[in-house]
Amino acid sequence: MHIEQDILNKVNEWLTPTFDQQTQAEIEKMMTSAPKALEDSFYKNLEFGTGGMRGIMGVGTNRINKYTLGKNTQGLSDYLKKSFPNEELKVAIAFDCRHNSDTLAKVVADVFSANGIKVYLFSELRPTPELSFAVRYLKCHAGIVLTASHNPPEYNGYKVYWQDGGQLVPPQDGEIIQLIDSLQYSDIKFEANESLIEYVDTKIDEAFTTSTIENASFNTPKAAKDNLKIVFTSLHGTSIKLIPDVLTKAGYDNIEIVAEQAVPNGDFPTVKSPNPEEPEALTIALALAEKTNADIVVGTDPDSDRLGVAVRDLDGKMKLLNGNQTMVIMTAFLLEQWKRSGKINGKQFIGSTIVSTPMMLELASAYEVECKVGLTGFKWIAKFIKDFPNQEFIGGGEESFGFMVGDKVRDKDAVGATLLVCEIAAQAKASGSSLYQELLNLYTDLGFYKEYLISITKKGIEGANEIKQMMVDLRENPMKEINDQRVICIEDYQSSKGYDFMNEEEFDISIPKSNVLIYYLEDGSKICARPSGTEPKIKFYFSVNTPLDSIEKAITTEEKLDLKIKNIIASMQLN
């Protein structure tokens, strides 16, 4: 197999004494036995996406390893010194259950300390939202968490947080990447200054737990809590460290934990994917719920920033909710609590994303608050909190099963969201309703919205080119009609331009640039196309809606919306 010269140049650099013998031996082995894999390992540099940097672990510039993460950390160290020239710099570091997360976290800590930066390193795995909390609690300038969220076992990743507890956003991310790219691997300082590394654990746990309970509890009577039967699974991830304890301290004692998935394990042996977005991931939890007659099932991903929820429908059968539905339920509950407390005064806002349900806009209008809509990723919701200090953030989420309650954590937080959803379920049951009934009530008030996501995986160099071409086609040859409905508007977030076909007008988009296209149809349907920033996928998001006359018509209405989505997909030839 022929390997391009620029790739060979990178490979040869990694065969110099700057890199350890184990790395060099692995590369030499791949040169003879796996040239295709070698090419994929070096054909590009890993990039920051919507959720930081994620990739397969292994040798090479396109892999997660001590050198790619070391170079990132060296660049970030240089940037911190440049940004805060007269301050004693501090960073916090956490890691999840994935293979090598603990050793890679120590590598990152070593590089920071070698650059004279104080490091607070969690002694054991911890949820990502606790790291976001810890950055502000410890008054750090930045934070790192080693995680690949819900990706397969061969992946790991590196998420960077700034001093507000939110993930990096432009222009900082671009400036840091420029610094990283300007470095040589020989510039990395790996020799740790152990005196600057302090291990942290229970003190932060206690502060985070206390904050979570204060932030996500809403005067639910103890009898109602006792009457709610909960099944919880951590899907072999970090949430086992905190969520059971948070629920118990908040007064929820009727909890069944899925024992087979309670032990952290980077192989995620009981699931195909440790992603609560995937129904299969909650199979064991749902079986336990049937056995124990539970009211609610909650499952979290490996780093505990997203959650999946299942509840009893009107027939008493367990029904999995999607991320848009849980987001709407939780947001509506928070808005109602704020309204009852008399705290809504025109200075509050909720947060959402351009690929999430438009129902969030309807909710905001109904409660007379603003809904700020940003690009995909919670870093944009966190940025709203930072950019609008004179407004109060109530809560917000995105379709990918993430939610943030208030502003104490500046990233999606399955710990706080789990407590909140249990509060809603307990109060609903105590009043003779249910969490699902509350969702249907919202549909009758605001319209029945149904969303669906298709992810198309395209791996390697060829796959990346295919995804690129799909977006080019959608831009340069836009569809005029989809599912017998006219396209009335297209928004292109890469060019920051939109076009209204009804009025034949072009308009500007103020949201930051991103490789996203949104089609709006005459019947209110919405279709979004977006390549993933962290996985070799292109994602298509569909949203359809119709009025719901009565709860009795909910099943037939949902079936009609499901059929509409199916027809849209067929007309776009995506199936």
147 within 8 A of 157, measured Cβ to Cβ: yes
Residue type, 247: L
411 within 8 A of 129, measured Cβ to Cβ: yes
From 149, 234, 514, 525, active-site residue: 149
Domain borders along the chain are 1-40, 44-200, 207-446, 449-571
Distance CA 296, CA 302 (A): 20
Concerning whether 149 is annotated as a catalytic residue, the answer is: yes
| Average pLDDT of span 506-530 | 96
Q: What is the pLDDT of residue 2?
A: 57
131 within 8 A of 94, measured Cβ to Cβ: yes
- pLDDT one-digit tens code per residue, 175-233: 998 899 899 999 999 999 999 999 999 999 999 999 999 999 999 999 999 999 999 99
User: C-alpha angle with apex 267: 261 to 273, nearest 5 degrees?
Assistant: 75
Quick one: residue 27, left, alpha or beta (phi over 0 = left, psi -120 to 50 = alpha)? Answer: alpha
Q: Which residue is associated with the tokens 């339920």?
A: 329
Mean pLDDT (the chain) is: 95
**Percent of the chain with pLDDT strictly greater than 70:** 98
3-class secondary structure per residue, 532-560: CCCCCEEEEEEEEEECCCCHHHHHHHHHH
| Average pLDDT of span 474-499 | 96
- pLDDT one-digit tens code per residue, 92-135: 999 999 999 999 999 999 999 999 999 999 999 999 999 999 99
pTM: 0.95
What fold, for 44-200? Answer: Alpha-D-Glucose-1,6-Bisphosphate; Chain A, domain 3 (3.40.120)
Report residue 51's pLDDT band, with 50, 70 and 90 as the boundaries: low
Q: Which CATH number fits domain 449-571: 3.30.420, 3.30.310, 1.25.40, 1.10.150?
A: 3.30.310
CA distances in angstroms from 24 to 1, 17, 31, 456, listed in the order given:
20, 9, 11, 35
Please indicate whether the domains covering 207-446 and 449-571 agree at the CATH topology level: no
| 342, burial (CB in 10 Å: exposed 0-12, middle 13-18, buried 19+) | exposed
Query: How far is Cα of residue 187 from the mean position of the Cα atoms in its chain?
Result: 32
Distance CA 562, CA 224 (A): 35
Distance CA 169, CA 291 (A): 46
Distance CA 380, CA 531 (A): 17
- pLDDT one-digit tens code per residue, 252-288: 999 999 999 999 999 999 999 999 999 999 999 999 9
Q: Does domain 207-446 have CATH number 3.40.120.10?
A: yes
Strands (E), 433-516: 448-457, 481-482, 485-492, 497-500, 505-508
